[in-house]
Chains A and B, each alone.
Chain A
Amino acid sequence: MTLTLERPVAAAAKTGTDIRIEGLAKTYPGADSPVIPNLTAHLRAGEFTVILGPSGCGKSTLLNMLAGLEAAPTGRIVFGTREVQALAPRDRGCAMVFQNYALYPHMTVARNMDYSLRIAKVPRAEREARVAEVARMLELSALLDRRPSQLSGGQRQRVAIGRAIIREPQVLLFDEPLSNLDARLRNETRMELAQLHRRIGATSVFVTHDQVEAMTLADRVMILNKGRIEQFAPPSEIYAAPASTFVAGFLGSPPMNLLAVESRNGRIRLPDGGTIGCRRDGMFQLGIRPEHIRLGAGAEMRVQFREELGSHSVIALTTPDGARLRVTAPPGGTGDALRVSFPQDALHLFDAETGLAVRELLIRT
C-alpha cells in the first residue's frame, strides 16, 4: 500500500521537538531494586528512536514515563523547552500507540480517531476534515463507520496509529505496536511506519524487543539492559561496533560469537591458530560475527550441527578449546569438519570483567 498525503512539507517540519531525559530514575513501590536506576539521553527533534532490549528491562516503563502514564519522581524530562515530567499526559503534546491497539470497542473507527479532538473541543468541521485526512493517509476511508471488532488486525493497528497522529503530536510513542501482527503484515506495517514517520516528522520513540524492527526503523537505537543504556547509536554503528558484550550478543542473527581468550606477553592466541597483538595482558572476550568468519583456510574444526535457512546455512563448530563457534556458509554444504580463519579487521575485543568494548587494545597488522 502507498501513503498519500498532500501535506505541505513545512507543516511536517514544525511538529517535532527534541527530548531531553536527565537523571531519570524509577522504582516501583514494593520493588527492592530500581527498574531504571539513572538514565540520561538526548533524542533529537524529528528523530526516530527505537528502544530495544529484552523483555522486562524497563522499556515500557521508560516510555510510560515519557507519556506521563507513569509518574517520574526523580529526574527531568524536557520536550523542546518545556519541562514535562510533572504534567498530565494530555498537556505533554504526545500520543501513544499501544501493543493491543486499545481501541474503544463500542466506538466506530471515526469516533475512535476523533475522540481526543472532541475532548479538546475542536470544532466539528475541523474534526471531520482531520479524520478524513488521516483516514485517507492510512487507507481507512471506507472503514470509518465500522467497529473495531469488524476490522482485521492490520486495520486495527492503522486505526490506532490514526488515533495517535490525528492530534498532530510533537512526540509519538509506540509500545511494541507490531508484535500482535503476523510476520507478513508486520513487515508491511513496518515499512508504512517508516514512511509515515518521514511524512509527519514527529519525534518518535518506538519500543520493541525485535532487533529487525530496531535495525530497519531507527535513526538511532537505544539498547536497554536492566534499565541502563548499553549503547545509543545508529543501527550501522551498533552492528559494526557494539559497545559491550550485551549488545554484541543481543544483535545479529545469529549473534556475534564471543570466545574467552587470554592475552599473554602482548599476544592473544586465536582459535583459528593465528595470533593478534594486544596492548594489555589479561582475560578478554573475543568477538567475531558468524558472517565475517572466512571459510576454507586456517584451523580445522568439527561440525556440531547445521541449520539450513535456504539462502544460507548456519553451522555450529567446536573450537579446539571446546567452545561453540557459529559461522554462516553458503547453503547445502556437507562434511564433518571445516577450516575457518578470522580476518583481523573483523575482530572485536571486550573486557572480560566489565564486558565493555576495548577495541583499541587490538594491534592489527
Chain B
Amino acid sequence: MIETRTSFDRICMGILWLGILFILAPLWIALMTASHSAVDVMRSGLAWYPGPHLVENVIRVFTDTRIPVQMFNSLVVALMTAVGICILSFCTAFALVFLNLRFGWLVFATIFGTILLPVDIRVVPTYQVMSNIMEPFAALGLPVSQISLVNTHIGLALPAIAHGTGTFMLRQFFRTVPMDLARAARMDGAGALRFMWDVLLPLSRPALAALFVLMFLGGWTNYLWPLVASSTADMQTAVVGLARLATDGDSRAPDFPLMMAAASTVSLIPLTLIAVLQRFLVRGMALTEK
C-alpha cells in the first residue's frame, strides 16, 4: 500500500521538485545565456536572467552555422532509425512470439547480445563494415564490388537500427496478447501475414508509438557513431554540429550565446515530439492494452 499521510506526501513532493529543478536548471541557464550578447557573457559569465538578444542569437544560428542542414540530417537519421527499428522489431518479435521457431531462444539470445554490445563499444568493426558493406560477401569469395555507406544518411542510421531493444520491448508486449487471438485468426482463415497486419498491428499501435518516440530521441541524440561516420559538415547531425561549435571557432573565444541558442533550437524538435506523443509514451510504457 502506498502511504497517504500528508507529511510523507510533502517529503515526496519536495524530492520531486528538487529533481525537477536539477533537470531544468541547465536548460534554464542555456536559454538565459542564449539571450545575452557574447560580450556580456564574456564579461560576467553564464546568465541566470533573461537578456534582450535571444532572437538575434537564434537568427545567427540559422545564418552563421551549419546547424539548420545538420538538424535536417538529424531529422532524416532519427526518422530512419525510428521507422527502421519499428518495422524490424515488429517482424522479429512476431517471429519470436508467434512462430514456433525451433531455435527461437538462440535467436533471442543473439538479438539480446546487440543490447549488451551497443555501437559505442564496437565502433571500429562497425565502421569497417559500413565502409564496405559487401565485405562479408567478398570474404566468402563472391565477386562483389565495394559499397561504402560512410558519410550517408543510411550509413548513419543502419547501425542504430540493428539493435535489439525494440525487439525486446515488443516481444514483452506480444506475450501479453492472448494466444487464442492468433488461433482464432487461423480458424478465420488468416495466414501469418494477415494476422500480423489485421490484428497484431492495430493492437500494437500504442507500443509502436512509444517505441517510435524512444528510438527517435535515441537517433536524435546519438553522438559517437555520427561523429565517426560523417566526414563532412553537411552530413553531420545536429548534436555533432553543436559539439563542433564549441571547438571549431578559428581560435576566437567561444561564442557561448550562439552555442546555447543552437542547443535550445536543436532541443526543440525532440521536445515537441515528446509533448505531442507523450500520451502514447506513457501508455506504451505500461505495455498493456486493455
**A contacts, CB < 8 Å to B:** 64, 67-69, 88-90, 94-96, 98-100, 102-106, 115-116, 119-120, 149, 163-164
Contact A119 B190 (CB under 8 A): yes
Task: For B185, list chain A residues within 8 Å (CB).
Answer: 104, 115
Q: CA separation between A96 and B180, bound complex, in Å?
A: 11
- A-B CB contact pairs (8 Å), 24 listed: A64-B183, A68-B186, A88-B186, A90-B187, A94-B187, A96-B187, A98-B180, A100-B178, A102-B178, A102-B180, A102-B181, A102-B183, A102-B184, A104-B184, A104-B185, A105-B203, A105-B289, A115-B188, A115-B190, A116-B189, A119-B188, A119-B189, A149-B290, A163-B184
For residue B30, give the distance in angstroms from its CB to the closest CB of chain A: 43
Q: Establish whether residues A90 and B189, one from each chain, have CB atoms under 8 Å apart when the complex forms.
A: yes
Query: B194's contact among A95, A98, A119, by CB below 8 Å, is which?
Result: A119
Closest 4 CB pairs of A and B: A90-B189, A102-B180, A116-B188, A102-B184
Whether the pair B181, A67 counts as a contact (CB closer than 8 A) is no
Q: Is B120 an interface residue (CB 8 A)?
A: no
B69-85 toward A: CB 8 Å interface, digit per residue (1/0)? 00000000000000000
Alpha-carbon gap, A149 to B203, bound state (A): 13
With an 8 A cutoff between CB atoms, is B198 at the interface? yes
Q: Are B180 and A89 in contact (CB under 8 A)?
A: no
Interface string of B253-290 (1 = CB under 8 A from A): 00000000000000000000000000000000000011
Interface residues on B, range: 10 to 19
- Let me know if A104 and B187 touch, CB within 8 A: no
CB of B199 within 8 Å of the partner chain:
yes
Consensus secondary structure, chain B interface: helix
- B186's nearest neighbour on chain A, judged by CB, is A89
CA of A100 to CA of B180, assembled, Å: 8
Nearest-Cβ distance from residue A174 to partner chain B, whole angstroms: 12
Cβ contacts under 8 Å, A116 to chain B:
187-189
Do A69 and B186 have beta carbons less than 8 Å apart? yes
A332-B184 Cα distance, complex, nearest whole Å: 50
- Measured CB to CB, the nearest residue on chain B to A64 is B183
Interface status of B143 (Cβ within 8 A of chain A)? no
A98 to chain B, nearest CB (A): 5
* Cβ contacts under 8 Å, B184 to chain A: 96, 98, 102-104, 163
Tell me, rounded to whole Å, the shortest Cβ–Cβ distance linking B107 to chain A. 17
Is there contact, CB below 8 Å, between B199 and A104? yes
Q: Find chain A residues with CB under 8 A from B289 CB.
A: 105
Indicate if the CB atoms of A120 and B187 lie closer than 8 Å.
no
Known pairs A96-B183, A119-B190 / 10 extra A-B pairs, C-beta < 8 Å: A67-B187, A89-B186, A89-B187, A90-B188, A96-B187, A104-B198, A115-B198, A116-B189, A119-B194, A164-B187
Specify the chain A residue showing the minimal Cβ separation from B190.
A119
